[in-house]
Amino acid sequence: MSSSTFTAEDDLIIRQQFEALRLAALKRCADQEQYDLVLKAFEFANEAHRNVRRRSGEPYIIHPIAVAKIVVQEIGLGCKSICAALLHDVVEDTEYTAEDIRQVFGEKIASLVDGLTKIKTALDNDNLKEKPTRSLQAENFKRILLTLNDDARIVLIKLADRLHNIRTIQYMPEYKREKILSETMYIFIPLAHRLGLYNIKSEMEDVWMQYNEPQEYKRIDGLLEQLMDTKGSEIENFVADVDNMLKGNNIQARIIKRLKSPYSIWRKMQTKQIPFEQIFDTYAVRIIFTPRGDYSEREQCWYIFSQITGRFHYNPSRVRDWVSEPKVNGYESLHVTVMYMGMWIEVQIRSERMNSIAERGVAAHWSYKQGQITPEGDKSMDRWLKYVQDILENPDANALQFLDDVHQELLTSEIYVFTPTGESRSLPKGSTALDFAFNVHSQIGCHAIAAKVNMRLVTLSTVLRNGDQVEIITSESAKVKREWLEFLKTSSARNAVIEALKDMSKDNVSRGMNMLRSELAARGIQMQTRVIRKLVDSYKITGGKEDLYNKIGIGLIDLADLDTVLKTNAKQRSVQMWGFKLLENNSRTLKEHLSDKSVVFHTSDCCHPIPGDKVGGVIEGENLVVIHKTSCPVYTNIAATEGNKIVAVKWSKHFMMSYLARISFSGIDRMGVLHEITNQLSNRLGINLRKVSIEAHDEIFEGYIDLYVHDTADIDNIIASFAKISGIEKVSRVEIE
């Protein structure tokens, strides 16, 4: 931020920006009193931020106005939330206090602003004075979700704040940009998804991709534009056909068409290892109907489904029924993929109420509850919020473990199983009967001995399937077992077992410490601080050395791989110092972790970055920086949870080294294709091969080549060269396992 006296032009811009918010608030406010409160909040914030500018040079007040617009227009919150959004930076960035806000705007708005101020203060605090085994950022994220216990609107306004920061991230310095993007990917995007804010989630994902996978984003965006040029008129014809069919059946509905986002396409290509052309649901058409009083919304969804599938051929494996059993975040819709003019189109069928919840998520969910209209997704959403609150209320919850638990729950897809009385319960896909037992109640889990799934006796490790009915058999004399940790899926069940094991044995820490000392002594190694720190990092222990000893003592860590762990750093590949350049960074971070000695760089073995890849650095030891691709999940995790370790780097202009990469390819088998591939690499492109793997079956061949390249330009040349070889249908760079 900077200061300079506003001009008349600045004041005009501010008034113009506020006008759009004023009109939106006018529609949203219940009465004149609420509307006047919004006007007062704007005038208060405008005066508080007077003559202060953002990095972009625009008046700072533009940011709170933009956040308030997102709050009302894209999330659908009301008067108090609009006021809190306008005031959310006042206490942190100006001379006004929380008490000033309370006196002028009342207790509720003051509490919202106070919650937002605490979150902002925590996220902006880069001064990490604690030991490396703890993460200040994890504590900060825990603080964010603690607001769910107070008022969930704080989290929703914070998401709006983060969205606007993402929209203007080009004005951030690079080191700050990477921290914000990593935090966004690791916690805010999954949180937006779980709260049902799909549009916000999608926009954040696309911005993340633009900065971390810029070439892929540009390529996929270009392919989508080409598709619209060639197939756009056919989509319009399909929409017209569907519209006429609905009108012919006296169904009042509106139809919206959309294109899948570049990030969602790229992610599906990555996870399924398929080319762009094999993405089924590039297009989607949404039918939003106005319900009739004589049938339930679910019945009307299925009636429209029958009309659609009666007119067009559909793919039965692509039917998704979220009206019979809504998602955990309350999402309700019926999806079917149909064939039209040689292309697949996804059709989404939902009522106006369902669409409101799909677009505004948890905000719409609660507004319907307050209006006494109970959507069928209520129980699922409330159970998830209860789950988060249960974790938060555990005073022993370690911050990093908490973050990992919630992150897992945010991302995991769910199945639905039933109790013996028919109550539906949501569990992560892959959950076992024992996970179900702990989901019902911790005491049932602790005393479980077996289960009945669909009336058939099974072991507690049996993996449940969607629709199973489960009964847990218990015994008062039964106790938790250490081996349960090997098959439990849910973090809440695992944590309950670990806590129970702690209660069963008070000397776990002492036992684990003695076991480790004995194992190290057998190798002639003293149990020094640097050795313990290395083990804590390698085993990903979040609670420090006490947690390490405890997990050894209860058998979670058996030390069988101790020799491998102690030699972990030997696997990293050194890169000469001139291969990278440190960019502008937080001076405190550099001073705290990097001395005046020469910095040593390693490239990571998890993502194998090569020159041309967008990269970031992670401080792993004194004067040691490990280089990752910024799209690497390991890097994203560290940047989001331990941002103080992140430094901004870039490749130097001169590098002589070769880097190992893998090219995957497949196509129609023919005589001589392998010879032509290797000839292209060795003779024409001058590439040094390390390994070739290729196999053919049923006239199709597929394989990969490991080879040494200098940069991403080499990769691009190879892919372009391969694409010209007759018979090759797909070629791409993939990660080395």
Q: Please state, in angstroms and rounded to a whole number, the distance separating the CA atoms of residues 729 and 416.
A: 39
Q: Which residues pair with 33 in a beta bridge?
A: none
Helix (H) or strand (E) holding 566: helix 562-566
* Cβ-contact 134, 399 below 8 angstroms: yes
The set of residues, in sequence order, having a beta carbon less than 8 Å from that of 275 and lying 6+ positions away, is 269, 729, 730, 732
559 Cβ partners below 8 Å, 6+ apart? 515, 516, 519, 552
β-pairing verdict for 283-289 and 253-259: antiparallel
CA pair distance 6, 279, nearest whole angstrom: 51
Could you confirm whether 735 is annotated as catalytic?
no
- Which residue has tokens 């090759």? 728
Q: How far apart are CA 247 and CA 426, in angstroms?
A: 38
Among candidate residues 93, 221, 519, 537, the one labeled active-site is: 93
d(CA 167, CA 733): 30
Verify whether residue 130 is a known catalytic residue.
no
Tokens of 15: 């008034």
**Beta-carbon contacts of residue 174 (< 8 Å; ≥ 6 apart):** 583, 584, 648
> For residues 329 and 361, is the Cβ–Cβ distance under 8 A?
yes
- Which one is catalytic: 43, 47, 58, 92? 92
Tokens of 682: 């060795």
The pair of structure tokens assigned to 317 is 């494996």
Q: What residues pair up with 2 in beta bridges, in sequence order? A: 53
Residue carrying structure tokens 């702690």: 502
Q: How far apart are CA 302 and CA 310, in angstroms?
A: 12
Do 642 and 139 contact (CB within 8 A), yes or no? no
The CA R_g of the chain, rounded to the nearest whole Å, is: 28
DSSP-derived secondary structure for 195-239: TT-HHHHHHHHHHHHHHHSHHHHHHHHHHHHHHHHHHHHHHHHHH
Q: Residue 714: CB partners within 8 Å, gap ≥ 6?
A: 685, 687
Residue with tokens 């919020």: 385
Phi/psi for 671 (5° steps) reads: -65, 130
Residue position matching structure tokens 């007062």:
40
* 436 alpha carbon, distance to own chain's centre: 25
Q: What CA–CA distance (Å, rounded) separates 297 from 303?
A: 10
Choose among 184, 159, 4: nearest CA to 71. 159
Say how far apart CA 558 and CA 456 lie, in whole Å: 35
DSSP element (H, E) containing 425: strand 424-428
Strands of 624-629's sheet in order across: 573-575, 600-603, 624-629, 615-621, 646-647
> Six-digit token pair at 346?
């996804």
Give the full edge-to-edge strand order of the sheet including 659-668. 688-697, 700-709, 659-668, 728-734
**CA dihedral for 400, 403, 407, 409, sign (positive or negative):** positive
Q: Give the span between the Cα atoms of 492 and 112, in whole angstroms.
A: 29
Q: What is the DSSP letter of 171?
A: G
Question: CA 326, CA 335: separation in Å to the nearest integer?
Answer: 12
Look-up: residue for tokens 């890169």?
A: 575
Residue 322 has φ and ψ, to the nearest 5°, of -110, 20
Residues marked active site are found at 92-93
